[in-house]
């Protein structure tokens, strides 16, 4: 398994049930994938109402330990040959099947100077906020609107910039945003980010009345997610579909990305690979 998020974990549990010896390779140092980013209780998992993400991660860790499934941390998978999984540090692991559960990554904003911006998160900004901080959030979906609401609710001056005239976020999130005191600018788009003296950056925003410059301490880009695919692993998925399965958020349209779908995709992938392996054995003349 590549990826220790909900999909990879579920696939490993199912692989063990089907009599295989799964090992999970995870590039980060933690279990849970996006579960490590949750700030609110999870309300939509059947049987586990209001569970907090750290508790769910602890339960998943215990379940893996009880099943003797090992998780190798700090191991970034880069390619799969059909016989071996190759890691970024040059390590190779003998394996004839791979389940690839890499999750998603934030889409990049196209604007001059944006490459120089340090990546940060809402939680990091909240934890280190200084009195004169001002944050620019870019985007109009759930993630952008939730981030802007949380920051503004914490009394951090927050500007939300969205390129359309209407937000895409669900209506309850939009109501929260309106109550939060965040300054919403739309339709507007970020056209350049320039360094200034000191810690701030100067952002040029094109709005209906022209270009405006805004000095901010942080820029949070939340303009959607895309599958976090490593090219050679993605190629293996198309070249050897009977040996490789892509699962979880990376395989789903945006509207279906969720914990229950990630868990279910692990089960479906393992069962399909087991069926393929069985038919390989019955058709192999040796």
Ligand X SMILES: Cc1cc2nc3c(=O)[nH]c(=O)nc-3n(C[C@H](O)[C@H](O)[C@H](O)COP(=O)(O)OP(=O)(O)OC[C@H]3O[C@@H](n4cnc5c(N)ncnc54)[C@H](O)[C@@H]3O)c2cc1C
Q: Which stretch binds ligand X (CB under 6 A): 32-40, 153-161, 211-219, 234-242?
A: 32-40
**Among the residue ranges 58-66, 159-167, 169-177, 256-264, the one whose residues contact ligand X (CB under 6 A):** 256-264
* Cβ proximity to ligand X, 75 vs 111, nearer residue: 75
44 near ligand X (CB under 6 A): yes
Q: Detail the DSSP E strand segments found in the chain.
A: 23-26, 70-73, 77-80, 84-87, 92-94, 98-100, 104-106, 135-138, 158-161, 183-185, 189-195, 201-207, 210-216, 218-221, 225-227, 244-246
Count other Cβ atoms within 10 Å, centred on residue 231: 9
- Tell me which residue has tokens 């934030």: 106
Exposure string of 86-96, with b = 16+ CB inside 10 Å and e = fewer, is bbeeeeeeebe
Helices 142-153 and 171-180 cross at an angle (nearest 10°) of 30
| 169: contact with ligand X by CB under 6 A | no
Q: How far apart are CA 100 and CA 110, in angstroms?
A: 28
Residues from 172 through 231 that contact ligand X (CB under 6 A): 228, 230
> What is the closest distance, in whole angstroms, from the C-beta atom of residue 177 to ligand X in the complex?
16
258 is an interface residue for ligand X by CB under 6 A: yes
22 vs 205, beta carbon nearer ligand X = 22
Distances (CA, A) of 191 to 118, 162, 205, 232, 249: 17, 12, 6, 33, 30
Give the Cα separation of 138 and 144 in Å (integer).
Answer: 7
Task: Candidates 20-28, 179-187, 210-218, 237-245: pick the segment binding ligand X (CB under 6 A).
Answer: 20-28
The candidate with the shortest Cα–Cα distance to 264, out of 252, 276, 275, is: 252
Nearest approach in angstroms of CB 146 to ligand X is 8
DSSP string for 99-122? EE---EEEPPP--BTGGGSPP--H
Report the residue number, 28 or 206, with the smaller CB distance to ligand X: 28
Total residues binding ligand X (CB under 6 A)? 32
- Residues 6 or more apart whose CB falls under 8 angstroms from that of 55 comprise none
How is residue 253 annotated by DSSP?
-
Cβ closer to ligand X: 16 or 257?
Answer: 257
Question: Cβ closer to ligand X: 206 or 258?
Answer: 258
Size of the chain, expressed as the number of residues it contains: 286
Instruction: Tell me which of 23, 38, 117, 268 binds ligand X, using CB under 6 A.
Output: 38
Residue 257 within binding range of ligand X, rule CB under 6 A: yes
Q: Is 150 in the site for ligand X (CB under 6 A)?
A: no
Residue 23 interacts with ligand X (CB under 6 A): yes or no: no
Q: Using the minimum distance from each CB to ligand X, give the nearer residue, 34 or 206.
A: 34
Regarding 139 and contact with ligand X (CB under 6 A), the answer is no
Q: Which of 1, 8, 85, 184 binds ligand X (CB under 6 A)?
A: 8
Closer residue to ligand X, CB minimum distance, 95 or 188: 95
Only one residue has tokens 């995870």, namely 26
Interaction site with ligand X (CB under 6 A): 2-8, 25-28, 33-35, 37-38, 42, 44, 76-77, 101-103, 228, 230, 248-249, 257-260, 262
């Amino acid at each position: 398994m590549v990826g220790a998020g909900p999909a990879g974990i579920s696939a490993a549990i199912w692989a063990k049930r089907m009599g295989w010896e799964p090992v999970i390779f995870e590039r980060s140092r933690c279990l849970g994938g996006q579960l490590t980013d949750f700030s609110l209780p999870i309300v939509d998992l059947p049987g586990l109402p209001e569970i907090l993400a750290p508790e769910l991660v602890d339960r998943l860790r215990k379940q893996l330990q009880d099943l003797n499934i090992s998780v190798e941390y700090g191991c970034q998978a880069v390619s799969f040959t059909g016989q071996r999984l190759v890691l970024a540090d040059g390590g190779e692991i003998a394996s004839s099947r791979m389940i690839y559960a890499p999750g998603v990554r934030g889409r990049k904003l196209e604007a001059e100077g944006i490459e120089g911006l340090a990546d940060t998160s809402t939680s990091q900004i909240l934890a280190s906020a200084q009195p004169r901080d001002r944050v620019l959030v870019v985007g109009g979906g759930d993630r952008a609107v939730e981030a802007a609401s949380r920051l503004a609710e914490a009394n951090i001056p927050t500007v939300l910039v969205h390129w359309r005239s209407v937000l895409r976020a669900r209506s309850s999130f939009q109501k929260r945003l309106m109550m939060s005191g965040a300054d919403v600018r739309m339709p507007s788009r970020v056209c350049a980010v320039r360094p200034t003296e000191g810690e701030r950056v100067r952002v040029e925003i094109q709005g209906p009345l022209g270009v405006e410059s805004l000095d901010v301490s942080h820029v949070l880009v939340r303009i959607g997610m895309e599958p976090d695919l490593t090219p050679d692993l993605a190629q293996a998925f198309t070249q050897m579909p009977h040996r490789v399965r892509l699962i979880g958020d990376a395989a789903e349209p945006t509207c279906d990305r969720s914990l229950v779908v990630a868990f279910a995709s692990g089960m479906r992938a393992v069962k399909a690979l087991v069926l393929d392996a069985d038919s390989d054995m019955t058709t192999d003349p040796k």
